[in-house]
Amino acid sequence: MERSAPLQTALEARLFPYVESIGFVRDKRQEPRIICFRRRTETAVQIFALLWATRGRPGFWIQFAEAPLNGIDCRGNHLFAEDIFPGNFALLRGWLIPERGKRWFRLSPLWRRLISKQRDGADALVQRLLELFPEIAAWWESKAKGAHLVIFAPTSLPAKPDHAPVFGHSVRPSLLQRAFARDSVWTIGFLGLAVGVDLVLAIQAPDLRQMLAVVFVGAIIGFMVSWFVFKILRRIRVWINGGPFHNGDLVQVIAGPHAGKTTAVYEEWPSRNQVRVDLGESECQDVKDVFSYVQLLRVKSAPPPTE
């Protein structure tokens, strides 16, 4: 946060007093990462938050939303309006951007500020935010979409798992299935094949100078070949394991501390070739129930054991 100290000072001096003067109340529970403000009206609770950039970069995002006075139901829980933050997917929400093509407010590099003779980049950035803030106010008032607003529609979140017991016929994974369930095997195999292709091409060069050139080109070719081969291999492994998997599928975990456990899929992440499976309340809360398709086996349901 040291690089963001001038921004913090400018915000504390100009933005925060302004929004508090028009009725917003500061919520410090998520600080310093998130600085949130709420204002209750007759019909809704208006929320906006400043999210500091990660890794010490001098900048921030501005998110905003509107919540019902009585809160919302989200994944089986009721959230009061005072506990809702603007990034909640169940709300109509948006971002305020400084200009087209930029999603966050950030200080220009020092060399650019010197060339453009900007004496105080932090004050200029906060001034820009104050100039654009009325667009958020207009959206709250009439849902008018300003030129610097990016609006996101509500997204229905999957229900929380009920943790009901499930019963399936246990399957003994093969040696290859256990091996390919490890992330390290894919990483080592991918890099190994890429390096192997590179070396095969490099040793055919007639002299050292050409060899160095071939090593560079061969690295690119090696990574392309490795990506293509392992993409096909992963599809084959997923097919062998019975995937891809969908909500309600009965599966057996073959990787990690829960290996051998039979459970059910309750949430899909298809863009990442992953799913979440019901391993209990603790794992669900900590998001430790995420597995890739190659780390699961499809199993058939079985009758519950009789006493």
- Whether 134 shows a pLDDT value over 90: the answer reads yes
CATH number of 175-298: 2.30.30.30
Q: How far apart are CA 226 and CA 232, in angstroms?
A: 10
- Angle at which helices 208-241 and 183-202 cross, to 10°: 150
pLDDT band at 158 (very low <50, low <70, confident <90, very high): low
* Strands (DSSP E) found in 77-234: 77-79, 93-96, 105-106, 149-152
**Among all chains, which residue has been given the structure tokens 């006493």?**
307
**Distance from the Cα of residue 263 to its chain's centroid:** 25
pTM above 0.75, yes or no: no
Confidence band of 250 (pLDDT split at 50, 70, 90): very high
If pLDDT is split at 50, 70 and 90, which confidence band does 85 have? confident
State which of 4-8, 11-15, 56-60, 87-91 shows the largest mean pLDDT. 11-15
206-215: long-range pairs with CB below 8 Å, 24+: none
Using the predicted structure, report yes or no on whether residue 183 has a pLDDT greater than 90.
no
Shortest CA distance to 137 belongs to which of 27, 26, 39? 39
Q: Average model confidence (pLDDT) for the chain?
A: 83
**Which pLDDT value is given to residue 293?**
92
